[in-house]
């Protein structure tokens, strides 16, 4: 037991164990090592307790995952009442992307839980409410919600998979390496895009998010009258 305590982060030792502290430690562990590293034993070691102590606060690992997802949804800014629907959806999308950047493990879990918590339900209700107030019918709000989430989650997943920092200068090095492996005559369109777009000063892949989001919001605006 003494050896285990010596490996326990000091910031957890003096904190009373609670459902909130268990979930906070689980999120921290997933942020550091991925959700695959999350086990009841490892979580207990992080908190400086025996694994059985966790079950006084959470039923099982599935309940922990439910709570972790709920915690991430709680980090996303809710669309404020009275805000124009496009501005509300843009604000929510930007905030969601930021939350997923902080917690990349959550991308595959956000919509997968069968027991959504209050934060998850509150988030979804607010988004639907903003779309309904903006003139979308029930089915139209569902369509808009689906396409927006598909874009945000998809972009966030792509960002976590890129072999370079989406807002840094690593892309230039990668582009030069790619150009060095191919003949421009064989891939003229790819060469044109790399040289004429992605390698231009100031380019950052992260900027593509806002451009794509505006395209989707403009498209939804055109459809809104048909989805009332």
Distance (Å, whole) CA 155 – CA 206: 9
pLDDT in tens, 112-158: 889 999 999 999 999 999 999 999 999 999 999 999 999 999 999 99
- Which of 106-127 are b and which e, b meaning 16 or more Cβ less than 10 Å from the residue's Cβ? bbebbeebeebbebbeebeebb
pLDDT in tens, 183-211: 878 999 999 999 999 888 888 889 999 99
pLDDT of residue 164: 77
What is the pTM assigned to this prediction?
0.86
**From its phi and psi, is residue 156 left (phi > 0), alpha (psi between -120 and 50) or beta?**
alpha
pLDDT in tens, 39-85: 999 999 999 999 999 999 999 999 999 999 999 999 999 988 889 99
Going by C-alpha positions, the residue among 107, 26, 127 that lies closest to residue 67 is: 26
3-state secondary structure the chain: CHHHHHHCCHHHHCCCCCHHHHHHHHHHHHHHHCHHHCCHHHHHHHHCCCHHHHCCCCCCHHHHHHHHHHHHHHHCCCCCCCCCHHHHHHHHHHHHHHHHHHCHHHHHCCCCCCCCCHHHHHHHHHHHHHHHHCCCCHHHHHHHHHHHHHHHHHHHHHHHHCCCCCCCCHHHHHHHHHHCCCCCCCCHHHHHHHHHHHCCCCCCHHHHHHHHHHHHHHHHHHHHHHHC
Given a cut of 50, is residue 8 above it in pLDDT?
no
Given a cut of 80, is residue 4 above it in pLDDT?
no
Task: Report the mean per-residue pLDDT for the chain.
Answer: 90
Distance (Å, whole) CA 140 – CA 54: 43
pLDDT in tens, 11-51: 445 668 999 999 999 999 999 999 999 999 999 999 999 99
pLDDT of residue 3: 38
Distance (Å, whole) CA 143 – CA 128: 11
3-state secondary structure 164-217: CCCCCCHHHHHHHHHHCCCCCCCCHHHHHHHHHHHCCCCCCHHHHHHHHHHHHH
- CATH code: domain 19-58 is 1.10.10.60
> Domain spans of the chain?
19-58, 72-167+204-226
Given a cut of 90, is residue 171 above it in pLDDT?
no
Q: Which CATH superfamily is domain 72-167+204-226 in?
A: Tetracycline Repressor, domain 2 (1.10.357.10)
């Amino acid at each position: 037991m003494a050896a285990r305590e010596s490996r326990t982060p000091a910031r957890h030792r003096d904190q009373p164990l609670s459902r909130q502290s268990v979930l906070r430690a689980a999120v921290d562990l997933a942020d550091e090592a991925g959700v695959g590293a999350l086990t009841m034993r490892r979580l207990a070691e992080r908190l400086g307790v025996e694994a059985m102590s966790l079950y006084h606060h959470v039923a099982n690992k599935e309940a922990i995952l439910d709570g972790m997802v709920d915690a991430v949804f709680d980090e996303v800014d809710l669309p404020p009442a009275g805000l124009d629907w496009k501005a509300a959806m843009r604000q929510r999308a930007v905030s969601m992307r930021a939350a997923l950047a902080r917690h990349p493990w959550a991308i595959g879990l956000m919509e997968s839980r069968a027991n959504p918590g209050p934060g998850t339900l509150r988030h979804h209700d607010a988004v639907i409410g903003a779309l309904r107030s903006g003139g979308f019918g029930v089915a139209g709000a569902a369509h808009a919600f689906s396409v927006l989430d598909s874009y945000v989650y998809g972009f966030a997943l792509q960002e976590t998979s890129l072999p370079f920092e989406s807002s840094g200068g690593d892309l230039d090095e990668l582009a030069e390496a790619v150009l060095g492996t191919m003949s421009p005559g064989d891939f003229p369109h790819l060469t044109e895009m790399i040289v004429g777009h992605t390698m231009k000063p100031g380019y950052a892949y992260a900027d593509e998010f806002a451009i794509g989001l505006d395209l989707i919001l403009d498209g939804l605006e055109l459809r809104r009258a048909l989805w009332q």
